[in-house]
Structure 1
Amino acid sequence: MSDAGIWHGGDLDVARRLFPDAPDPWIDLSTGINPIAYPMPPLPACLFERLPAPADHEDLEAAAAEAYGAADAAVVVAAPGTQVLISLLPALRPRSRVVILGPTYAEHARAWRGTGHDVVEVGSLDAAGEADVLVVVNPNNPDGRIVGRQVLLDQAERLWARGGWLVVDEAFADFAAGETLVPVLPENAVVLRSFGKTYGLAGVRLGFAVAARDAAGMLRRVLGPWAVSGPALEVGRRALRDRPWRLAAQEARGQDARRLDDLLEPCSDQPTAGTILYRLMGSSRAPDLFAHLGRHGIWVRRFQFDPRLLRFGLPGSDEAWRRLEVALTSFR
């Protein structure tokens, strides 16, 4: 597929063009972002008026190290979103054979291919062959597949023998952290963690790489000073240290995911999959259901690689749940 043809969630302008007669307000279920956001703290004006101090940046990385289980804050690199890190990593290596476990988030392939690397997508790790870089999204987007920690450690060891990297995108791992690679980080691994998805604050633009000191140093040099804004630093460090909120959100969104599964089951040809923050359904009628929901002002995520799949984020209000249930019931 061409770069221009990659679809992402969250673009309601596309929804309105496709379904101009749909009722307002639109319900956007096309992303995997927590619909109940972390409560934004009051932010003093000085955060917008001065450059962030190095100590503030270091404190944010320390908060992330605590939240993700990193042994040392020096291996944590804060950035203005994980998408920036995905785009930067390919520039840190000479031309390589990059193997991506897919199908998965398409920006990984685009970033590596766009900087001249040879990119191959495989359906299982057994087919990875002699990769120089192996990219695994874990849990996977969109099907929620989880590769066990020991399997990843074995892959990292094989890559290490030939100077290779293991890149693990843990964007959705906060609510499924049992298999995270961060606490046992191999020397040749780079783990990406998203902030905005878990905390429902995607517009803050904050993400992290957890990498051995050499790779972390390269990323810091490429990002340069003041990579993260003062407001994002403040929001991030407060939210990451609020463990009770995260645990309560995990429990509540887990209940929401089970509720959504019950709604989708009559329309599905197979059991739903995914993560706590989104559910993936498969149906031979998926294109018709996509259009039906669009006419009801409900925007969900479809996929170029398989038109039988639709991904649903979680509704964020009683009214959104009601409208989704009415639309799904009328489709059956």
Structure 2
Amino acid sequence: MRHGGDIYTVSELTGKSPYEILDMSSSVNPLPLPEKIKKKVIEKFPFLHKYPDTEARAFVRTLSELYDIPSEKIICGNGLTELIYLTVQALKPESVLLLEPTFTEYERACKFNDINDIERIFSLSKEKIIEMLWKTMKERKYAMVFICNPNNPTGWLIEKSEILKLASLYEDTIFVVDEAFIDFVPEESLFREVSPNIIVLRSLTKFYGLAGLRFGYAVASIQIVERIKKYRHPWSINSLAQLIAEEIIRDEDFKRQSYEFFKSEKDFFERSLNELKLKYFPSVANFYLFEIPKKGVFQYMIERGVLIRDCSNFYGLNENFIRVSVKSRAENERFFKEMKEFLRS
């Protein structure tokens, strides 16, 4: 399983229905879609016989008005991952730097586009990775640097002032800043401060809980957006995804409820981790990376219908590292009950 959320493979392996599986591996908001948005979806069902808007104009206008971003600087895609691949394909960087451990699709997108000059710096310390980043940038010129912020799987945040300073000093380097989890710390987003060499990628999957609809967007210079558009497939974003995306980014009640929910559940999560004496990485997002002192936890959990993220396919990590997302109280309690039993076994 390359990513979290593959309840379908677990269903085949265990014989359990996908609905029976407790998915702690995908970092998606478990709160339900607001009723008023569900009603609007039902109202729009008769419109499904029409092709979707390739430009997602309604969403782009809404985002532009809400955050005072020129619409020409916005491009939408079928999830953030599509935009990663399109960005690499359109810009064709000769050399790429990755800050590991990080989202594995950056490397895959590069290799898919025959870009093999990929270098990495690795650390499980945020302070160390920032120090190494500055040192590495001074030693060599890179065409593109990927920065996942907050980072997946560690959950750390590099302050936007640090990234802006880097981008201002290395103007020939394109900094692709993946803000899939930035809604948990919105004040640190760069999407209103993009410069000619900064591309910001955003997702509605995590904070807004729309993993099944696939909707993401990028904010970049007009020139970069136009280049990416040349490689985008027509009708890649379905009509329902566009409608719900447009509505939910305006829903301040849903945002407030989500912040309150995650604050409460993250407090519970950290207390539970401390009670089990598990070493975890401080996270600003809705997931935690931690190290298990014994092997076999992934299979143990699978057999009990609980899916966690085995982090062994992240660069520099092994099977003792797992990433677990914050869910509802009942789901979190079930997970920690099973974890306690595993540690005792």
**TM-score, normalising length: structure 2:** 0.85
List aligned pairs for 1:207-246, cutoff 5 A: 207-246=216-255
Q: Percent identity?
A: 23
SS at match of 1:204: coil
Aligned to 2:166: 155
Tell me the amino acid that sits aligned with residue 314 of structure 1.
V
Cα offset for 1:263? Answer: 2.0
Give the C-alpha shift of residue 291 in structure 1. 3.2
Paired residue type of 1:35 = P
Q: For 1:308 and 1:267, locate their aligned partners in 2 and report how far apart those are by CA, in whole Å.
A: 15
Q: Which residue of 1 aligns with 2:38?
A: 41
CA RMSD after TM alignment? 2.4
Looking at structure 1, the residues matched to 18 and 49 of structure 2 have their Cα atoms a distance apart, in angstroms, of: 41
Equivalent AA in structure 2 for residue 34 of structure 1: N
Q: Cα distance 1:32–1:76, how it changes in 2: closer, same or farther (>3 A)? A: same
State the alpha-carbon separation in 1 of the partners of residues 224 and 248 from structure 2.
26
Q: Secondary structure of the residue that 1:223 maps to in structure 2?
A: coil
Q: 1:3 matched to which residue of 2?
A: none
**Distance in structure 2 (CA, Å) of the matches to 1:267 and 1:289:** 14
Shift, 1:172, TM fit: 0.4
Counterpart check, 1:131 vs 2:129: no
Q: Helix, strand or coil for the counterpart of 1:174?
A: helix
Which deviates more from structure 2 when the two are superposed, residues 10-19 or residues 31-40? 10-19
The runs of at least 4 consecutive aligned structure 1 residues that moved more than 3 Å come to 16-24, 224-227, 266-269
Gaps of 5+ in 2: 123-128
Residue 75 (str. 1) matches residue 73 (str. 2): yes
1:1-332 to structure 2, matched below 5 A, reads 7-16=2-11, 25-39=20-34, 40-42=37-39, 43=41, 44-53=44-53, 57-66=56-65, 69=67, 71-117=69-115, 118-123=117-122, 124=129, 125-126=133-134, 127-128=136-137, 129-160=140-171, 162=172, 164-285=173-294, 287-304=295-312, 305-316=317-328, 318=330, 320-331=331-342, 332=344
DSSP 3-state at the match of 1:120:
strand
Residues 75 and 211 of structure 1 are in contact (CA less than 8 Å); yes or no, is this contact kept in structure 2?
Answer: yes
Q: CA 1:327–1:91 in 2, change beyond 3 Å: closer, same or farther?
A: same
210-219 vs 273-282, which moves further: 273-282
After TM superposition, give the deviation of residue 145 of structure 1 in Å: 1.5
Change beyond 3 A, Cα 1:66–1:29: farther
Q: CA deviation at 1:94?
A: 3.7
Structure 1, residues 127-148: CA drift from partner, whole Å, max 9, x if none? 2431110110000001112111
Distance 1:220 1:282, change over 3 A: same
Q: Pick closer, same or farther for the CA change 1:87–1:268 going to 2, 3 Å.
A: farther
Q: Is the 8 A contact 1:101 1:135 kept in 2?
A: yes
Q: How far apart, in 2, do the equivalents of 1:70 and 1:223 lie? A: 25
Aligned equivalents of 1:106 and 1:53: distance in 2?
A: 30
Counterpart CA distance in 2 for 1:112 and 1:21 is 36
Partner deviation per Cα, 1:171-216 (whole Å, 9 max, x = no partner): 0001111221112111111110001211111111100011111111
Instruction: Answer whether contact 2:77 2:236 (CA < 8 A) is retained.
Output: yes
Alpha-carbon distance, 1:166 to partner: 0.7
Deviations 1:257-293 (A, max 9, x none): 22122222233442443343212222322x3333332
Equivalent pair of 1:268/1:282 in contact (CA under 8 Å): no
Secondary structure in 2 matching 1:208: strand
Give the Cα separation in 2 of the matches to 1:94 and 1:201: 30
| Alignment: residue pair count | 321
1:16 Cα deviation from its structure 2 partner:
4.4
Tell me if structure 2 keeps the 8 A contact 1:257–1:276.
no
Secondary structure, counterpart of 1:141 in structure 2: coil
Offset from partner CA, 1:219-238 (integer Å, 9 cap, x none): 22322543322211111100
Cα 1:288–1:157, aligned 2, differ >3 Å: closer, same or farther?
same
After superposition, give the CA deviation of every residue in 1:77-110 in whole Å (9 maximum; x if it has no partner): 1111111111111111245110011110000111
Q: 1:326 to 1:113 in 2, by over 3 A?
A: same
Are the structure 2 counterparts of residues 121 and 70 from structure 1 closer, same or farther at C-alpha, using a change threshold of 3 Å?
farther
CA separation of 1:220 and 1:94: change in aligned 2, threshold 3 A: closer
